[in-house]
Amino acid sequence: MNIFQIISEIEKVDPEVYDRLDSRRSIFKHMTGLGQKLTAAAVPLAVGAIFNKAYAQTPVGATVVNVLDFALRLEYLESFFYQRSQGTTASALRAGFSATNLASIDLITIDEANHVNFLRSVLTSLGATPVTAPTAATFDFTGGKGSNAGPFADVFTNPATYLAVAQSLEDTGVRAYKGGAPLLIGNKTVLTAALNIHSVEARHASRLRTMRRALPSNNNASQGLPASPYSSAPKSWISGTDNGGAAPSQTAPIYGAGNNTNAPTGVTFDAESNVTQGGVNLQTALASLNFPAAAFSEAFDEALDVTTVKTIARTFVVTGNSFLD
């Protein structure tokens, strides 16, 4: 990017461009120092801010900010959920978990709080104002939209239901981060940070699935053996459309196809059962290897668009609350 050439071209059309910003000497002084003060990934945001000042247009970094704002809202959803597993008010729920599993849940709780704090700090560093923190009254994790009597009514007393909802939230978050990644390509620093969170969310999902398979009270949940009293499902990774998830009538959209309307160029939001990657049907191309049919979908994770993620996430938001609109 030749910043000075860009300004020179703008000056031909708008001779007053410098007056809109600052004195000619001052603006060149500020821009000359950009390279010393910012990483290369941050330069487009800085340039966008400069021209926004001049013409009151949307900054170059608006798309990045929008993605991060949405990510923050999802992290709040998850963080408030895990907070309900803490303290004396959660004693009945905690009593149903083994020490090993409680340690995992407590660690996930800390991770989600850290994600919230991190995303708020990044948004602030980009000159954006993070969304006002919601309150517990924003959410109804029973799926009752405010009645607290939804399909997951015993979510905070029954460890099995708690893990089912936790898995659903994490699986949604993983697909959401992947869906937002193409919109962050213009800022490699932010993209790297988002992918770092994405990988942790995936580990959370895998751990929760293992706990569900091995039963909440099992103190050796990391084994998750497919033998009595263990279950063969769920796997520690998504397989096909995951049989609709933890509660198919509510969670099937988490594993289905997304909405491709307004998708970035070259990006599609396929169902998790997708077996075609890069235009190649792997199940057909590798048929001679006799891999299990499920292996072709299990080897890849699929992204999910904002519209679909919002629809899923609003399952746990009180009706009338605009936090995830």
Q: Report the pLDDT averaged over residues 182-194.
A: 90
Q: For residue 64, what are its two tokens?
A: 């990045």
At 120 the pLDDT is 97
Nearest to 309, CA basis, from 186, 171, 201: 171
At 63 the pLDDT is 77
Considering the entire predicted model, what is its pTM?
Answer: 0.79
Position 299 pLDDT exceeds 70? yes
Position 280 pLDDT exceeds 80? yes
Higher-confidence residue of 222 and 55: namely: 222
- CB burial string 103-118: b at 16+ within 10 A, e below: ebbeebbebbbebbee
Position 223 pLDDT exceeds 60? no
The pLDDT tens digits for 47-85 are 444 444 443 333 333 379 999 999 999 999 999 999 999
What angle do the packed helices 99-125 and 62-83 form, to 10 degrees?
A: 150
Residue 277 is given by DSSP the state E
Position 228 pLDDT exceeds 70? no
At 183 the pLDDT is 85
pLDDT-based confidence at residue 318 (cuts at 50, 70, 90) = very high
Q: Report the pLDDT averaged over residues 9-18.
A: 51
At 231 the pLDDT is 64
Contact 53, 46 (CB under 8 A): no
Q: Report the pLDDT averaged over residues 117-126.
A: 95
The pLDDT tens digits for 235-279 are 999 999 999 999 999 999 999 999 998 777 778 899 999 999 989
Residue 178: which residues within 8 A CB-CB, separation 6 or more? Answer: 198, 301, 302, 303, 304
C-alpha 201/C-alpha 193 separation (Å) is 13
Q: For residue 160, what are its two tokens?
A: 């099995």
C-alpha 72/C-alpha 68 separation (Å) is 6
Contact 318, 139 (CB under 8 A): yes
- With H, G, I as helix, E, B as strand and everything else as coil, classify residue 222: coil
C-alpha 307/C-alpha 120 separation (Å) is 22
Higher-confidence residue of 20 and 186: namely: 186
Q: Report the pLDDT averaged over residues 294-316.
A: 96
Contact 238, 272 (CB under 8 A): yes
Report DSSP letters for 51-114, one per residue: HHHHH-PPPTTHHHHHHHHHHHHHHHHHHHHHHTTSSGGGHHHHHTS-HHHHHHHHHHHHHHHH
Q: Report the pLDDT averaged over residues 12-16.
A: 50
Stated length of the chain: 325
Nearest to 234, CA basis, from 204, 208, 273, 261: 208
At 219 the pLDDT is 81
Q: For residue 120, what are its two tokens?
A: 């708020």
Position 200 pLDDT exceeds 50? yes
At 46 the pLDDT is 47
**Domains of the chain and any CATH numbers:** 3-55 (no CATH), 62-316 (1.20.1260.10)
C-alpha 210/C-alpha 243 separation (Å) is 16
